[in-house]
Amino acid sequence: MSLDTLPGIEQHSSIWFTVKAEDENQNRSVLGNSPSLDYRLAPNDLKATPEQVYHVNLTWQGRKAAGFQHYNIYRKAGAEPFTMITDTVTMGAFTDNLYDAPDAGYQYAVQAVYTQGSSDSVFSDIVDIQRFINLMILCQLEDTTIYDSITFTMQGQDTVYSMSFNRTTNLTGLVMLPAVYFGDYVINISRSGYQSIHDTISVTPGNPSWSFTLLSLTKPRLFSGRVHYDNNASTPLGNIKVYLKNLSNTILDSTMTISTGDFSFSAIPGDYRIGFKCTKPSGGINSIDALLILKHFVGIDTLKGIKLTAADVDGSGNINASDALITMRRFVGLVSTFSVGDWIFENPLIVLSPDENNVLIFKGLCTGDVNGSYTP
């Protein structure tokens, strides 16, 4: 029989039993001896529900019998034994905070404590708490197998754990980070002489290992370019001289374009400018160019880019009727040169980085040929 089903049992803390025998003629014996037991009603229906990352909500049915004092609540993580986490709860609910506890399968037990002793325990299902992963991050350096002295920082973007890590690698380049909370992290990896990595990574349950390679800033890289005339056909400008310059305009290297207008330099990453020298004859200058320059001056039309530069044939720094007039005079042969020279080229800032190998395109144009009518 189940004591819990006896009517009114909850008001009692002890129960006595006695036996009286009865035969088929309904003759009854005297009462037998009368043993008793302490009755300590146990809680039941314990439910454990994870909530908001690191909480577990516990609820149970508290059928308190007489003499009830409080509940004892126990917790076990994985294969560890149960340990008591509180003995002050008197209602049928409790929220456990696992913020600082490791990931594990957690199980709970609750027992009611009475003046005469404790009830049996009721157990919850196991609640799996998974928030962290052990990360292994390999930081490598280009062109070597010794990866020491790399600075690695990682900053969590969440507001739950907001973890941050700061490490310097040894020869292996390995950064081992235990118990990293799942989420997005900003990472910075740097070492003197190498291009820093600034990135965001998402730490997820399936991604325990990452690797990054810092590229050398002292290793020469191939820089490729192509130069063409700024006409509709984009005519390649072959056999013209190309200079690699630093930002102080010092020539560092020079080469010649091939027939396709292509050229290349090998240089360490940094900021550069490219200069061109073209000895091809000028061409394409006529009255249409002079008119376009005049239209630009009066605001009817607008020249852009290198064509705008090509319109300032007197090098005054602005474009006006004087440029149009000089262009016309050149066309009709009254002058044979421009003070600024016959050729102009684009001259953008070149940022040579270790990880980009794009072919940069440059345009050239004859001074005064603002409609790009020439085919050199």
SS3 category, 331? helix
Q: Strand 104-114 and strand 127-129: pairing?
A: antiparallel
The angle at the Cα of 253, spanning 248 to 254, to the nearest 5 degrees, equals: 115
Q: What is the DSSP string of 122-168?
A: EEPPPEEE--EEEEEEEEEETT-S--TT-EEEEEE--SSS--EEEEE
CB of 260 to Ca ion, least distance (A): 24
Q: Which stretch binds Ca ion (CB under 5 A): 36-44, 173-181, 247-255, 307-315?
A: 307-315
CB nearer to Ca ion: give 312 or 342. Answer: 312
CB nearer to Ca ion: give 173 or 284. Answer: 284
CB of 269 to Ca ion, least distance (A): 38
Q: Binding residue for Ca ion (CB under 5 A) from 96, 230, 342, 369? A: 369
Binding mask 311-350 for Ca ion (x = CB under 5 A): -x-x-x------x---------------------------
The rounded distance, in Å, linking the Cα atoms of 252 and 245 is: 5
Residue 174: CB atoms within 10 Å: 15
CA distances (Å), 322 to each of 284, 332, 352, in order? 19, 15, 40
Number of residues that this document lists for the chain:
376
Tell me: does residue 235 bind Ca ion (CB under 5 A).
Answer: no
CB nearer to Ca ion: give 161 or 331. Answer: 331
Tell me: does residue 284 bind Ca ion (CB under 5 A).
Answer: yes
Q: Binding residue for Ca ion (CB under 5 A) from 289, 297, 303, 362? A: 289
What sign does the dihedral 143-147-149-155 (CA atoms) show?
Answer: positive
Binding mask 244-263 for Ca ion (x = CB under 5 A): --------------------
Q: Binding residue for Ca ion (CB under 5 A) from 290, 293, 371, 376? A: 371
CB nearer to Ca ion: give 72 or 367. Answer: 367
- Total residues in contact with Ca ion, by rule CB under 5 A: 9
Instruction: Supply the DSSP symbol for 81.
Output: P
Site for Ca ion in 50-109 (CB under 5 A): none
Q: Which stretch binds Ca ion (CB under 5 A): 28-36, 79-87, 122-130, 367-375?
A: 367-375
Strand order in the sheet with 55-61: 44-51, 55-61, 93-97
Q: Give φ, ψ of 68 to 5 degrees.
A: -65, 135
Interface ranges with Ca ion (CB under 5 A) = 284, 289, 312, 314, 316, 323, 369, 371, 373
